Chain A
């Protein structure tokens, strides 16, 4: 094998969540009430546009969640202590060895971005470094000469050779090609959509086209197409330029900022999604138990969540993360690679965030269960002697799911924002793990430089803002569709 798959815990969880979401989506479509709610989401233009954008982010995150360790070329390094198969007696093939570095599928796609590091800062699309350095060169006479100048970048615009003045023309040329390609791609997508709509709604393609743009179809295709247009107009030029330039510049150690931004997406998604795996079971189980059984069960659970929520969240997280760090530092033997260590810390952070954030949802579900259990259909079930467990499973949980879904999508954006703050404070993800928080933390002092290094922060800002805004807009659409007060009958 040329590689050794590495299964990180967070990979497992995030794929599990992905599959669970698909299964749940398919199941919920079978119930007409859920179906109409999802259809309402589908009609929301803001919701569908942001869902399209989010899907791109999720795609990046999923690609970044398939990890492996490549095989080393000369397979005899001592660094392969782990994972090497036991040498057989024949010893004919030398034991295969794998690199310590854990790569993901995304890393492979972004190999040029990942490997072509400069020495230090460089501006977006620059061909030369950002600060002057002493450069040694030999003049015509062969004398060693020292001069202070902006050194040429090793990779940025390297294809231009000495002809740096050609850069603007080259960039413009690439942009033009990218934009025309984007137009072609968009027309292809739009035509395919129109054909699909035409088939689904049994009308001619031009009629379907008109329906899409005059807002008459049952799904906000126009918003999706508009979002696709924006995405293509951004993504294709970036892709065209990223091969030869550092589109968003490089950071202090010369790493490409565009690469960092893309890697941050997965961290944000893991924090935003995996945390709910901790929150939901706790909140749903305890909330329903408290609301349904009341009495001392209720008292105990209320005490538990009041106590937990009375500790200010940041401080509890700080304390827990500090303790986690002590635990990790004292047991280095647990981890084969740095990636696994960082991954465990990421999961620990998710766990702690989950533990501190389940109380709100729990309180909400408890209150709703209290109301539900007095409803007449539950009393009718009790009159049949239906067991409590069955009543909870068939009557209470299905009627609480809309609250859970709303809470889930609403929490996502706040968790992504929280990660940045926590990482900045130093109680977030592992400092070696690329995330929006660590990017901001590393770059925040650079604005004070003269002249300011602005690109790292700006890139992090734009990507994070897009992600959170899309999540917020989708959350609004989902809330409007699922909240029975807004939806009329339920």
Chain B
């Protein structure tokens, strides 16, 4: 089992390198730094001097991979690839357009992101799994039918409308909580509760349907028939037998997103003005701040890979076949 985990860890490394290469190609090969400078400076101010100055300020004036002008190890290190891509492995993301250190910005924005994303995740999981269990218990009844209809209807509504509608109804019409903003300390719940509520509701449709499918697939297995033949009640069968086996496919989808919670949600944070990583990303996209977008791509992939490894670890808890092999 240890060898299994070590192997998964080692496998993550080439993936991370691949991600790095893809982003590098995207940011520096599709468009040259000159193109980006022209774009950033705007049509009016483009002069060769301005472009050179822009590049020099940001360290884009070096060669891409090999610096013939330098000597020693600097041949490789004094290049755009090394300074902009390879250094990300060391946690050095460089500076944003406004001159701030990206790494520091990221660490300070993780807190608010997590404050929204974590409760949304936990509450959402609880709500959807319970709802799916309920539908499974009453399968092939009217409750099940209309529950599924509700799910399909809910998953046909764009996430944007959940947020806009929620803000309009709860904050503007009923004036229950502030429409947006974020504050630390004891008052934080006022700002957190609406985004969390909306996040949970907008996920109910698709998740419930997905879990219900998993439960129904498990419930048609032979061992469930055995459990019923033992005289166990339907609830015991559902919770003791079906739920435990269904955990295996459920975990595949769930554990992998846990690390990504740090990244926050783009939509929620931008609508509610929460100073987290999601709104940071959106601002960077709107400002066309390549350095920040690049850093976020790298961190996102890193977290995803951590999620994959966590998924493997979690399997060993729920699936004895992996635990003992």
Tell me if chains A and B make direct contact, with any CB pair below 8 A. Answer: yes
Task: List residues of A whose CB falls within 8 A of some B CB.
Answer: 303, 306-312, 314-316, 318-320, 322-323, 325-327, 329-330, 413, 417, 420-421, 424-427, 436, 440, 444, 447-448, 452, 457, 461, 464-465, 468-469, 471-473, 476
Q: Is the CB of B266 within 8 A of A314?
A: yes
Interface check B18, CB cutoff 8 A: yes
B139: min CB distance to chain A, Å? 14
Residues 236-270 of B, flagged 1 when their CB comes within 8 A of A and 0 if not, give: 00000000000000000000000010010011001
Q: Given that A311-B297, A472-B152 are contacting pairs, would A322 and B288 also be in contact in the complex, using a CB cutoff of 8 Å? A: yes
Interface check B1, CB cutoff 8 A: no
Q: Given that A311-B22, A312-B263, A472-B156 are contacting pairs, would A427 and B172 also be in contact in the complex, using a CB cutoff of 8 Å? A: no
Q: Sorted from nearest, which 5 A-B pairs have the closest CB atoms?
A: A307-B18, A312-B300, A469-B156, A468-B156, A310-B304
Q: B286 contacts which of A421, A426, A469 (Cβ < 8 Å)?
A: A426
> Which residues in B have their C-beta under 8 angstroms from that of A314?
266
Q: Which residues of B, 1-38, contact A by the 8 Å Cβ criterion?
A: 14-15, 18-19, 22-23, 26-27, 30-31, 35-36, 38
Residues 150-178 of B, flagged 1 when their CB comes within 8 A of A and 0 if not, give: 00110111111100100110001000000
Q: Is the CB of B26 within 8 A of A307?
A: no
Give Cα A325–Cα B281 distance, bound, in whole angstroms.
17
Q: Is the CB of A421 within 8 A of B158?
A: yes
Q: Is the CB of A319 within 8 A of B168?
A: no
Q: A319 contacts which of B27, B152, B304, B308 (Cβ < 8 Å)?
A: B27
B36: min CB distance to chain A, Å? 6
> Which residues in B have their C-beta under 8 angstroms from that of A323?
26-27, 30-31
Q: Given that A307-B22, A425-B282, A476-B152 are contacting pairs, would A461 and B293 also be in contact in the complex, using a CB cutoff of 8 Å? A: no
> Which residues in A have their C-beta under 8 angstroms from that of B286?
426
Interface check B135, CB cutoff 8 A: no
Interface check B301, CB cutoff 8 A: yes
Q: B304 contacts which of A312, A421, A440, A471 (Cβ < 8 Å)?
A: A312
Give Cα A27–Cα B18 distance, bound, in whole angstroms.
41
Q: Is the CB of B19 within 8 A of A311?
A: yes
Give Cα A44–Cα B310 distance, bound, in whole angstroms.
42
Q: Which residues of B, 286-304, contact A by the 8 Å Cβ criterion?
A: 286, 288, 290, 293-294, 296-297, 300-301, 304
Q: Given that A303-B18, A319-B26 are contacting pairs, would A447 and B285 also be in contact in the complex, using a CB cutoff of 8 Å? A: no
A82: min CB distance to chain B, Å? 21
Give Cα A425–Cα B265 distance, bound, in whole angstroms.
12
Q: A457 contacts which of B23, B159, B164 (Cβ < 8 Å)?
A: B164
Q: Is the CB of A472 within 8 A of B297?
A: no
18 inter-chain pairs at a CB distance below 8 angstroms, sorted by A residue, are A312-B260, A312-B300, A312-B301, A315-B300, A318-B281, A319-B27, A323-B30, A325-B288, A327-B31, A417-B159, A420-B158, A426-B285, A426-B286, A436-B158, A448-B172, A461-B157, A468-B156, A469-B153
Q: Is the CB of A452 within 8 A of B168?
A: yes
Give Cα A7–Cα B294 distance, bound, in whole angstroms.
36
Residues 25-60 of B, flagged 1 when their CB comes within 8 A of A and 0 if not, give: 011001100011011000000000000000000000
Q: Given that A310-B308, A330-B31, A421-B267 are contacting pairs, would A319 and B293 also be in contact in the complex, using a CB cutoff of 8 Å? A: yes
Give Cα A109–Cα B304 distance, bound, in whole angstroms.
49
Q: Which residues of B, 170-206, contact A by the 8 Å Cβ criterion?
A: 172, 179
> Which residues in A have their C-beta under 8 angstroms from that of B159?
417, 421
> Which residues in A have their C-beta under 8 angstroms from that of B38?
329-330
A413: min CB distance to chain B, Å? 7
> Which residues in A have their C-beta under 8 angstroms from that of B27?
319, 323
A271: min CB distance to chain B, Å? 13
Instruction: List the A residue with the shortest CB-CB distance to B12.
Output: A310
> Which residues in B have their C-beta under 8 angstroms from that of A436?
158
Q: Is the CB of A311 within 8 A of B301?
A: yes
Instruction: List the B residue with the shortest CB-CB distance to A311.
Output: B301
A257: min CB distance to chain B, Å? 16
Give Cα A476–Cα B167 distance, bound, in whole angstroms.
32
Give Cα A320–Cα B260 distance, bound, in whole angstroms.
20
> Which residues in A have their C-beta under 8 angstroms from that of B263?
312
Interface check B219, CB cutoff 8 A: no
Interface check B305, CB cutoff 8 A: yes
Q: Is the CB of A444 within 8 A of B158?
A: no
Q: Is the CB of A319 within 8 A of B18?
A: no
A372: min CB distance to chain B, Å? 21
A80: min CB distance to chain B, Å? 24
Give Cα A447–Cα B18 distance, bound, in whole angstroms.
44
> Which residues in B have their C-beta under 8 angstroms from that of A469?
152-153, 156
Q: Is the CB of B157 within 8 A of A465?
A: yes
Given contacts A322-B293, A425-B266, A447-B172, 14 further A-B contacts (CB under 8 A): A307-B15, A307-B18, A310-B304, A311-B19, A314-B266, A319-B297, A325-B39, A421-B160, A425-B282, A426-B282, A440-B158, A444-B160, A447-B167, A469-B152
> Which residues in B have their C-beta under 8 angstroms from that of A461?
157-158, 161
B285: min CB distance to chain A, Å? 5
Q: A326 contacts which of B35, B179, B308 (Cβ < 8 Å)?
A: B35
Instruction: List the B residue with the shortest CB-CB distance to A443.
Output: B164
Give Cα A457–Cα B162 distance, bound, in whole angstroms.
12
A419: min CB distance to chain B, Å? 9
Q: Given that A461-B161, A468-B156 are contacting pairs, would A316 and B297 also be in contact in the complex, using a CB cutoff of 8 Å? A: yes
> Which residues in B have their C-beta under 8 angstroms from that of A311?
19, 22-23, 297, 300-301, 304
> Which residues in B have their C-beta under 8 angstroms from that of A312?
260, 263, 297, 300-301, 304
> Which residues in A have their C-beta under 8 angstroms from that of B294?
319
Instruction: List the A residue with the shortest CB-CB distance to B17.
Output: A307
> Which residues in A have their C-beta under 8 angstroms from that of B36?
326
Q: Is the CB of B30 within 8 A of A327?
A: yes
> Which residues in B have their C-beta under 8 angstroms from that of A424?
160, 267
Residues 67-98 of B, flagged 1 when their CB comes within 8 A of A and 0 if not, give: 00000000000000000000000000000000
Q: Is the CB of A318 within 8 A of B152?
A: no
